[in-house]
Amino acid sequence: MRGNKLVVLGAGGVGKTSLVVQYLEGFFSSSYKPTVEDCYRHTIQMPDGIFHTVEILDTAGSHHFPAMRELSIRSGRGFVIVFSVDDKQSFHEVTELWNLITKLRGSQVPVILVGNKSDLNKERKVSEAEAQEIAKDVMNNCRYIETSAKYNVNVSQLFVQLLLQAKAMEQPP
């Protein structure tokens, strides 16, 4: 059993910690503190009213801990792959993470692609269409959501959607 562990992956500085903190604690901080790994326990109320306890794992963005990242991927129930819409390099890293997930877990895993910092529209380097295309053509038709951890846009939707997807995928055919 993998429990209900949702794993948040993505390059350093894209806003993984900010998304998790905004979702769980309801605030945003502009100070930047690189994460090694933090795990939070939380209760999510689903659209049907039922509560589910989830663990949310905020991972390191850097490649300094490859063994740790593999372990997180092996233990995850669902995955959030985050890039920042103002950072092309972070978008390139999405494919790398997707490849690692499919290598370790196959392609039938619940994944949501997230373009964070949607409030930085003027500095945007990755278009919504480009991201949709990767989600569809490369990432097995996964869902794409744009978020702003800063202004709390689509943040709770993202975690609820991922859990819904994980629940749907565990139904027998």
Judged by the rule CB under 6 A, the positions of this chain that interact with ligand GDP are: 10, 12-18, 30, 32, 34-35, 61, 116-117, 119-120, 148-150
Shortest Å, Cβ 63 to ligand GDP: 13
Minimal CB distance residue for ligand GDP: 15
Coil, strand or helix: which one is 85? coil
Residue whose CB is less far from ligand GDP, 77 or 117 = 117
The amino acid occupying position 31 is S
Question: What letters, b where the CB count within 10 A reaches 16 and e where it falls short, cover 78-96?
Answer: bbbbbbbbbbeebbebbee
Q: What is the DSSP letter of 153?
A: B
Residue whose CB is less far from ligand GDP, 21 or 142 = 21
Residue whose CB is less far from ligand GDP, 140 or 161 = 161
What is the Cα–Cα distance from 149 to 159, expressed in whole angstroms? 13
Shortest Å, Cβ 87 to ligand GDP: 10
Shortest Å, Cβ 66 to ligand GDP: 17
- Residue 43 burial by CB count (10 A; 0-12/13-18/19+): exposed, middle or buried? exposed
Shortest Å, Cβ 169 to ligand GDP: 26
* Contact between 85 and 111 (Cβ < 8 Å): no
Shortest Å, Cβ 157 to ligand GDP: 14
Residue whose CB is less far from ligand GDP, 12 or 52 = 12
How would you classify residue 106: left for phi > 0, otherwise alpha for psi between -120 and 50, otherwise beta? left
* Contact between 116 and 85 (Cβ < 8 Å): yes
Residue whose CB is less far from ligand GDP, 36 or 46 = 36
Shortest Å, Cβ 60 to ligand GDP: 8
Residue whose CB is less far from ligand GDP, 19 or 134 = 19
